[in-house]
Structure 1
Amino acid sequence: ALGIEQKPDLILLGGDYVLFDMSLNFSAFSDVLSPLAECAPTFACFGNHDRPVGTEKNHLIGETLKSAGITVLFNQATVIATPNRQFELVGTGDLWAGQCKPPPASEANLPRLVLAHNPDSKEVMRDEP
């Protein structure tokens, strides 16, 4: 609630939505998260506790985020436009699972903001422009 009161331009969620416990009430989880997406564009990546990709667990988490109006970026990028500037938001897969494979920089040559659960993911992108 405090974050929403600040009227953010963008909300980023960095993963670890569950801790190996699939007894989570995913409907209630979606209800808790949906005010974020109603407040501002909201993007998410997965953390190491949300893996492995392709499992039922990961699918449920992704669908829950989507139903709350949140965009999941898994090794994907999107352009964010604010009144004063544009930048590319890049969401990565989990580094420890070997899934951190961000897309190359776009031809638009925009500044890039990386959304990654593990800060060491920056090493994968070190040679990017």
Structure 2
Amino acid sequence: MKIIGMIILLIGCFILWQHFELKKFRITSYEYQTDKITQSVNFAVVADLHAHVYGRDNDILIQKIKEQKPDMILVPGDMIVSRYPETYETAYQALAKLTEIAPVYFSNGNHESRVSKVPVMQTEAFLAYENRVRKSGVHILNNASTELTLHGEKFCISGLEIPLECYGKGSYEPLPEHFIQEALGEAKKDAVQILLAHNPMFAKEYADWGADITVCGHTHGGLVRIPGIGSVISPQFELFPKYDAGEFEFDGKKVYVSKGLGTHTFHIRVFDRAEVLMIRINKM
């Protein structure tokens, strides 16, 4: 009986811990140096919100991002939970509030692609949601690019939407040959080339294409992490995935993978605090 009691107590403690853990997030900061600029630029990465709420109407999240004073906000997908249209309004409200802080650039994750590319009962609701998001001022970049100037510095921001087959569970489906070049053309060499690419599995391909900085999400940090080792399993059911969270470098080009802000299906985070990334680009 004592053993059963201890097990019940441990389960209760775990549930209580997770109840509070899922209400917390941190700011994780990185710096990137390049000879393409002379003035520093600061941007936030908001990934995988999945309509999660921090505080009333996400006021805690919005205020914390506002305090960082980003010059732009990058959102590499999965603001919604695809099969639940009731999550679309929460995602819309968050995106609309983010546009009041700084310009917002968004590209689809697998949850957005799932309801926009394959006709399902939620597709009509999603298309209405997407139209509202666009009207709120969010720059939607699905296999598209835009060029801009910040503090006198040139940037090109591209959003990559990969085939849904590349999100298959339990198997590895490579990107089709030349997919990125065909979707986006050549990377800009006379500007800081930033790529929004939801799935970090193809991190090296993003860098090889020519992205100076790539921002990803999708992994949720693995949900369960072992300190000193990393994620236990990826959304593709890959054990101990290489590109689970953090900063990765390929010949001077960087890929940043966010642990994300929300969850779906499995609502746990073990040694895996949700996060907003802040990336500062400095002169080399």
- TM-score normalized with structure 2 length: 0.39
Please say if 1:6 is aligned against 2:68. Answer: yes
Matched AA of 1:88 = C
SS in structure 2 of the partner of residue 35 of structure 1: helix
The alpha carbon displacement at 1:26 in A equals 3.4
The alpha carbon displacement at 1:91 in A equals 0.6
Aligned counterpart in structure 1 of residue 156 of structure 2, from 85, 88, 107: 88
| Counterpart residue number, 2:131 | 63
| Counterpart residue number, 2:108 | 46
Please say if 1:103 is aligned against 2:184. Answer: yes
| Counterpart residue number, 1:35 | 97
RMSD after superposition: 2.9
Write the distance in 2 (CA, Å) between the matches of 1:116 and 1:107. 16
Please say if 1:113 is aligned against 2:187. Answer: no
SS in structure 1 of the partner of residue 148 of structure 2: strand
The alpha carbon displacement at 1:9 in A equals 0.2
Larger relative CO (CA 8 A, sep 6+): 1 or 2?
2
The alpha carbon displacement at 1:51 in A equals 1.6
Matched AA of 1:65 = V
Distance of aligned partners of 1:127 and 1:34 in 2 relative to their CA distance in 1, 3 Å threshold = closer
- Alignment check: 8 A CA contact 1:14 1:46 kept: yes
Paired-residue identity, %: 23
Matched AA of 2:104 = T
Matched residue count: 129
SS in structure 2 of the partner of residue 114 of structure 1: strand
| Counterpart residue number, 1:72 | 140
- Alignment check: 8 A CA contact 1:77 1:89 kept: yes
The alpha carbon displacement at 1:126 in A equals 1.9
SS in structure 2 of the partner of residue 39 of structure 1: coil
Distance of aligned partners of 1:115 and 1:25 in 2 relative to their CA distance in 1, 3 Å threshold = closer
- TM-score normalized with structure 1 length: 0.78
5+ long unaligned stretches in structure 1: none
Structure (1 or 2) with the larger CA radius of gyration: 2
5+ long unaligned stretches in structure 2: 1-62, 168-174, 212-284
The alpha carbon displacement at 1:118 in A equals 1.1
Aligned counterpart in structure 1 of residue 208 of structure 2, from 119, 126, 129: 126
Matched AA of 1:126 = D
Write the distance in 2 (CA, Å) between the matches of 1:117 and 1:123. 13
SS in structure 1 of the partner of residue 184 of structure 2: coil
- After superposing the two structures, state which structure 1 stretch, 18-27 or 79-88, moved more: 18-27
- Alignment check: 8 A CA contact 2:156 2:188 kept: no
Write the distance in 2 (CA, Å) between the matches of 1:122 and 1:68. 34
